[in-house]
Amino acid sequence: MNYMKKIYLFLITAACTAGLFSACRKADPVIRKEQSTLSDIYVTTVGKGGDRLFDARYSPNNDTIYFDIPWYFPPDFDKEVDITKLILRATIPTDATMSPTLGNVVDLSKPLEITVTAGNGAQSKYVIVAKKVGDVSVTSARIEFTAGGTTEAVDGVVQANEILFYVLPGTDVSNATLTYEINKHSKASVTYGASVNLSQNVPFTVTGIDNKAKTYTLRAIEPVKLAYGAGINRKLWTKAGAELGFTANNEVCLAVSGDNLVLTRRTTPAKFSVFNRFTGAYIKDMYNPFTATNFQVISDTADHILACSWAPKNSKFTLYRYNDVDDAAPAKLVEWTNNNPTAITGDGGVGRRVNVYGDLTKDAVIMAPAGQSAVIYKWRIVNGAAVSQTPEVITYKSVTGGSSVFMGYYAEAQPIGTSANADYFINYQFEVALVNGTTHERMAALTLPYPVVFTMPTAYNRFNNANYLSIVKYINSYDLNQVQIALFDVTKTSMMGLPPTDPNYSALNVFTSPTFTGTANGNGTADIAVGYSNNRERMQVYMLLTNGGIMAHEFTNYAP
């Protein structure tokens, strides 16, 4: 036998020997699993396949499983659920079996016992108990009430046993109208649209088709305060010009002092009419030291009033400070002859628009543009007195829209600080811009696309740690008879240049009011003023439209 044949014979012999040993070895035993507990179970209906419609509740020892089956399903349909024809589906351990087998139609009108048997024979027994129940849930709730002559609505927050309505402190909800949404087969203890007195807690019971009931508590509570900025807001009141005694083109300015709103009527002589700023009710006319027409009575940041004369070229420009609307002896702060620099080629009159920042009894800055020019006059008040009767003459260097028109008749310059070189906002027909108080050049400007056709005037203030610029926007028509309040958060001045298409624009333009409409306003005059109440927890913004009326809107530091 040659060498190769020997190797071949050896391999065959080895293979046969291995097969012999393998044939004699016993198979490994199968270890059966001992798990017999359900890991999940739910109920569906015929025709819904594996849709998980109704979930289980478990007893403390997990041997009884409860199902609350809605009387009707879907809840607002008229199709009653047949509890004798339901389908159970469950998840059991691998290597386990269930008896009876689930997945078929079962009758759950009576308890059903099921057994899960583990692979090793261990068993877990369960009892399935189902009952039909009515729907006692509340999907939504709302109250409506009247505040300041305006109907307001607050949506309720539905919790386990309460329905909470977040209303501002001091709001009268003793006669609120309640509306709600419940299952159409259920009944409520309070008639839909009925009046409820939410100055105290009110029980609200919902009774289902099965006559089982659940009682909620209706509660009016104070909302959470914000650490920054304005939150809940509402329209305070609106009055048309006819209600306020407007005459053609004469109502041009607003000021806030205490609980009062002062309206300037540029008749000859002018009238300073005082209204309750929370209701719009007329109170009286304030003392007027001027004998001629004037345009501006404004307020400082401490509720003092600044009355300003109208001074064409070579006329006297005079400023008086009132402590309040009852002050019959206002203090003269400035008297200056409007001897305009030769650089002014336009109208040059002073007093159509005047703005102030600071406390006139302490430190403040007053700015007044000269009509049809790029010139702004500035007076500084230190320790309650003018540093000089003669103003600093400023030229705004970034006028846009064509140098021939300059900044128009009604341009506004709004200081935002009391220092010598404080920055300021400029607002005229072609832009609303933040200006460097040293170089007098534009630093940033708002983007206000159509339907805005014109802007004027301006108010700057601080509320709840945020700085706001409020302006009046004329929209849609050059009749200038449709206006809106626009509130901009300018705390981060770097955001001012955002276009309306930017996702962050809403963080800049935080509020735009409904449109207020009057008759044609050829002079393009309007005004805006700001006040506070409730320890500065609320801010009121007042918008005047010449030939239109006044709209008052309130902002709070409460979360919406």
Phi/psi at 414 (nearest 5 deg)? -110, 105
**Residue 21 pLDDT:** 42
Closest to 275 in 3D by CA, of 557, 558, 483, 542: 542
Q: What three-state secondary structure class fits 242?
A: helix
- C-beta of residue 253 within 8 angstroms of C-beta of residue 527: yes
| Segments of 33-111 assigned E as strands | 40-45, 54-58, 64-70, 86-91, 97-99, 105-106
Strand partners, 445: 433
In the predicted structure, residue 152 carries a pLDDT above the cut 90:
no
- Range with the poorest average pLDDT among 84-93, 160-169, 398-407, 430-439: 398-407
DSSP 8-class letter at 346: S
**Residue 403 pLDDT:** 55
Interatomic CA distance for residues 223 and 556, integer angstroms: 10
Which whole number is the average pLDDT over 471-484?
93
In the predicted structure, residue 287 carries a pLDDT above the cut 70:
yes
How many Cα atoms occupy the beta-carbon half-sphere of 156 within 13 Å?
Answer: 27
**Residue 3 pLDDT:** 43
Q: What three-state secondary structure class fits 5?
A: helix
**Residue 49 pLDDT:** 77
Mean pLDDT score across all residues of the chain: 90
Could you check whether 138-221 and 233-556 share the same CATH topology?
Answer: no
Interatomic CA distance for residues 269 and 274, integer angstroms: 16
Q: How confident is the model at residue 61 (pLDDT cuts 50, 70, 90)?
A: confident
In the predicted structure, residue 512 carries a pLDDT above the cut 60:
yes
**Residue 249 pLDDT:** 93
- C-beta of residue 378 within 8 angstroms of C-beta of residue 395: no
CB atoms within 10 A of CB 271: 15
Interatomic CA distance for residues 118 and 451, integer angstroms: 74
- C-beta of residue 516 within 8 angstroms of C-beta of residue 248: no
In the predicted structure, residue 31 carries a pLDDT above the cut 50:
yes
Top pLDDT among 528 and 13 is at 528
**Residue 333 pLDDT:** 98
Q: How confident is the model at residue 36 (pLDDT cuts 50, 70, 90)?
A: confident
Interatomic CA distance for residues 486 and 473, integer angstroms: 7
Interatomic CA distance for residues 17 and 11, integer angstroms: 10
CATH 2.60.40.2340 fits 40-133, yes or no: yes
- Range with the poorest average pLDDT among 102-116, 209-223, 280-294, 404-418: 404-418
Interatomic CA distance for residues 315 and 340, integer angstroms: 10
% of the chain at pLDDT higher than 90 = 72
In the predicted structure, residue 7 carries a pLDDT above the cut 70:
no
- Range with the poorest average pLDDT among 62-66, 111-115, 194-198, 529-533: 62-66
Interatomic CA distance for residues 416 and 302, integer angstroms: 14
- C-beta of residue 292 within 8 angstroms of C-beta of residue 307: no
Residue 328 neighbours by CB under 8 Å, 6+ apart: 287
User: Which burial class, exposed, middle or buried, applies to 298 when counting CB atoms under 10 A from its CB (0-12, 13-18, 19+)?
Assistant: buried
Mind giving me the DSSP string for 201-212?
Answer: -EEEEEE-TTS-
358: left (phi > 0), else alpha (psi -120 to 50), else beta?
Answer: left
Domain 233-556 CATH (choose: 3.40.50.450, 2.120.10.30, 1.10.600.10, 3.90.79.10): 2.120.10.30
**Residue 151 pLDDT:** 84
In the predicted structure, residue 341 carries a pLDDT above the cut 90:
no
Phi/psi at 11 (nearest 5 deg)? -65, -40
**Residue 81 pLDDT:** 93
Closest to 224 in 3D by CA, of 153, 264, 176, 164: 164
In the predicted structure, residue 112 carries a pLDDT above the cut 80:
yes
The CATH code belonging to domain 138-221 is 2.60.40.2340
Which whole number is the average pLDDT over 502-520?
94
**Residue 94 pLDDT:** 85
Q: What three-state secondary structure class fits 13?
A: helix
pLDDT by residue (tens digit) across 356-378? 999 999 999 999 999 988 999 99
- C-beta of residue 55 within 8 angstroms of C-beta of residue 13: no
Longest dimension (CA), the chain: 145
**Residue 528 pLDDT:** 97
Interatomic CA distance for residues 366 and 382, integer angstroms: 11
Domain ranges of the chain: 40-133, 138-221, 233-556
**Residue 20 pLDDT:** 43
Q: What three-state secondary structure class fits 6?
A: helix
- C-beta of residue 433 within 8 angstroms of C-beta of residue 470: no
